[in-house]
Amino acid sequence: MHSAQFTADLSSNGTVERDVPGLPSPAPAADPAPPVFDVIIAGCGPTGAVLAAELRLHDVRVLVLEKETEPPSFVRIVGLHSRSLELMAMRGLLDRIRAHGRQRPAGGFFAAIAKPAPPGLDSAYAYLLGIPQPVIVRLLEEHAIDLGAQVRHGCAVVGLAQDGGGVTVELADGERLRSRYLVGCDGGRSTVRKLLGVGFPGEPSRVETLMGEMEVGVPPEEVAATVTAVRETEHRFWLRPFGAGVYSVVVPAAGVSDRARPPTLEDFQQQLRAIAGTDFGVHSPRWLSRFGDATRLAERYRVGRVLLAGDAAHIHPPIGGQGLNLGVQDAFNLGWKLAAQVRGWAPETLLDTYQAERQPVAADVLDNTRAQMELLSTEPGPQAVRRLLTELMDFDEVNRYLTEKITATGVRYDVGEGPDLLGRRLRDIEVKQGHLYGLLRRGRGLLLDRTERLAVGGWSDRVDYLGDPTAALDVPCVLLRPDGHVAWIGDDQQDLDEHLSRWFGRPR
């Protein structure tokens, strides 16, 4: 079983999935063994680790398979935006993660246009947290393990087959595992996506950028003056000091190369001289890499019992620092829905809302990164548009809109007609028990009732209740999903019960 082979199985839209065209049909076999796991996750990056933890909050049996045996040797700095920080706070992780990161203001994200953050952003965590990628991966994996997830390193998925009872996963060493569901969180070159035969349309890389960390052999004043002059026209260029003579270096590449071939120090020296007229005496690199501007979006996020999340479902240029955040937010959206499916209380269409909600968000990120890459061009037309947008961002409404787009605090899911807050996430407001997010650590829904007249009744095993007339809300009551998004606003018990059934299934 070295290819995706499907026996008849219901897909997300109720149709029957049959053998993938061009692939061999499965040979008749005995009934597969019952699943040992509820969910197998391929990939233990941030997306896979968060998803595993979210599932374990609901006592789902989880196995995470990571093909790499060791963490990467390089230490790339990644950024957690406000929405991801909010989600970490909801699960009690933020203080632990924040201790390993460095905060910077929540401004200057869009196309690296140097504008301060707009005042009064609607988040208690209105900043960017820079943190080494191996550290955030380790912390999230430890969190998942602490909650009871099993993680196996050095295990590469090479085949899968699904049937009415589950998914059989084949590993590179020939071992076969059974689970009820499989989620591919295995990156932009996702094996799971390829085995499924899911299309990944978009555009290949047109330009590439070199990125690394290394020591510099000239005085900081000389570096700063040269960088300032070059960045007047070349915005894909910077040298940022880390201390002790070490700099983060980003410089346009000479062309598009084989991504499997890492750049060399000589590549950096050559491009620095071509762009800046000097190589700054760079030496002793810590790590070197390249990234392109390929932009692709999976046609489907679910095929029967197999789902995709994170870079397996979408790739885009790293401009604006949205990639890791987008994947983590996929995991928070999917986790409680897949857990509900496993635990048996999910409404019929709940799992389908994962794609319905997250695919448009990814499409928007792809579009805004396309726009940002155009604004980084040195051509006269894009430079003129950049100057115009720079002027427009002096208007608070424009700056705020673009900042909320990058930080994902402006995301609104289509959950029906109602006030503007409906479908949006609720900020970490003060309540009589402290802070709202402290009540969401178990990954359950929450009814926040300022009237103190409503009840969750037969849903109390899935939804918590807080009656608090002092809560800082300008609506009577809100029903929060486990991911912190507002699923209902009102003050009528019958209307509430209908929405509890919509999101949390039948009452006990």
Spatial separation of the C-alpha atoms in residues 156 and 68, rounded to whole Å: 8
Q: For 208-292, which CATH class?
A: alpha beta
Buried b (16+ CB within 10 A) or exposed e, 259-272: eeeebeeebbbbbb
Q: What is the pLDDT along the chain (508 residues), one digit of tens a residue?
A: 444 333 323 333 333 333 333 333 343 345 678 889 999 999 999 999 999 999 999 999 999 999 999 877 666 778 999 999 999 999 999 999 999 999 999 988 999 898 999 999 999 999 999 998 999 999 999 999 999 999 999 999 999 999 999 999 999 999 999 999 999 999 999 999 999 999 999 999 998 999 999 999 999 999 999 999 999 888 889 999 988 889 999 999 988 876 668 899 999 999 999 999 999 999 999 889 888 899 999 999 999 999 999 999 999 998 899 999 999 999 999 999 999 999 999 999 999 999 999 999 999 999 999 999 999 988 999 999 999 999 999 999 999 999 999 999 999 999 999 999 999 999 999 999 899 999 999 999 999 999 999 999 999 999 999 999 999 999 999 999 999 999 999 999 999 999 999 999 999 8
pLDDT tens digits for range 397-424? 999 999 999 999 999 999 999 999 999 9
The whole-angstrom distance between residue 412's C-alpha and the CA centroid of its chain comes to 16
Please report, for the chain, the start and end positions of each structural domain, with discontinuous segments joined by +: 4-71+138-202+296-361, 208-292, 430-504
Q: Evaluate whether 4-71+138-202+296-361 and 208-292 have a shared fold.
A: no
Q: What is the architecture of the domain spanning 4-71+138-202+296-361? A: 3-Layer(bba) Sandwich (3.50)
Query: Cα–Cα–Cα angle for 294, 296, 18, nearest 5°?
Result: 145
Buried b (16+ CB within 10 A) or exposed e, 193-228: bebbbbebeeeebebbbbbbbbbbeeeeeebeebbe
CATH topology of domain 430-504: Glutaredoxin (3.40.30)
Sign of the dihedral defined by the CA atoms of residues 161, 164, 165, 166, in that order: positive
pTM confidence score: 0.91
Helix (H) or strand (E) run with residue 289 in it: strand 283-292
Buried b (16+ CB within 10 A) or exposed e, 274-285: ebbeebbebeeb
Spatial separation of the C-alpha atoms in residues 87 and 94, rounded to whole Å: 8
pLDDT tens digits for range 193-210? 999 999 999 999 998 999
- Please tell me what DSSP assigns to residue 312: G
C-alpha closest to that of 85 among 66, 106, 55: 106
Amino acid at 144: A
